[in-house]
Amino acid sequence: MRALVRAFDRFLCRATGVFEFCDGPECLLRLQWARAPRDLVLSDGTRVRAGAPVLMLHLWNEHLPRPGADGPDFRWAARVYPMLTRSLEAVARWLAERPAVQRVEAIGGITVLAFSADGRPTPLIQHLGFDVFPYRRALGRFGEFWENFYTWAIMWTFNPVSLRGRSLLRLRRAEIWMSREAFLRRYGGEA
């Protein structure tokens, strides 16, 4: 069954244009060209209009280290956090080296990592410099169920311990956004 989920994930990445921008085994992110889903006002004052070009971040599940049998702990976090910041730095370098992508106005994503298993906000995303917004599902509860099912299947396939305390029907997502300028300043990609 896990092989089927992996195959479907590869298919979905290809179908939606998610791509690998680096080949390092410690890179935790993949990218996707997209359009802003709605008007956004970011904490640095940047206004992003609905439909503006944005770059979406996707967790590269195959590269995420597995936590121990007791689940994610301090040792695991101490390993993953530097990998994540180095991955964000690699995205910033990739952006800065490509004049053709200067039109990108913001970098963002949709994640369940903004909330702990008990539904409380986690400081991780804001500590990384992202603004956190409520996620708006295009298909309401119907869409929420299928997104939760897919996310649960991905977690079960690549990191089953992370499901501990998480319910299929209670996964919560958030949108995370940062302006291009703030992203390049923070992660050192500014030329």
What pLDDT, in 10s, does the model give residues 18-68? 999 998 889 999 999 999 999 999 999 999 999 999 999 998 888 888 877
Overall average pLDDT of the 88-109 stretch? 90
> How much is the pLDDT for 189?
53
> How much is the pLDDT for 54?
96
- This prediction has a pTM of 0.85
What is the C-alpha separation between 107 and 56, in angstroms, rounded?
A: 6
Confidence grade of residue 1 (pLDDT, cut at 50, 70, 90):
confident
Q: Is the model's pLDDT at 191 over the cut of 50?
A: no
Q: Is the model's pLDDT at 187 over the cut of 90?
A: yes
